[in-house]
Amino acid sequence: MNFKIVHNNINVLDLEKSLKFYEEALGLKESRRKEAADGSFILVYLGDGQSGHLLELTWLRDRLQPYNLGDNEFHLAFETDDFEAAHAKHLKMDCICYENPAMGIYFINDPDNYWLEIVPAKK
């Protein structure tokens, strides 16, 4: 029996704002979506065009309050082939929330305050 990771899910309050952020900050594009017939939810799957792994954004119509992210210790990591350019872009977007120069990484946060780790490509 074999398993492979196919997607991660996060819940978002403002779907359009999140879609814009993920495309601008990380180049993720919508690969498919599922909308409830009654309009109660929308699932949007985002891909990087390189791997098969997807990020599923879940929007719930009746959710009005921000999500409780606890200590926000969980995160997704993204590898970039141009760390300096990515850092400059995210600095300009004002979405860098934590930097660890000693480890050579930094984190950005999305519109719902999920942390996303940015790491340089392994050489």
Paired strand residues for 106: 99, 118
Structure tokens at 98: 């934590």
Q: Which residues are catalytic?
A: 117
Structure tokens at 117: 């780790």
Distances (CA, A) of 9 to 44, 60, 100: 10, 13, 26
54, 45 contact by CB (below 8 A): yes
Task: Give me the helix-helix angle, 83-93 and 15-26, nearest 10°.
Answer: 150
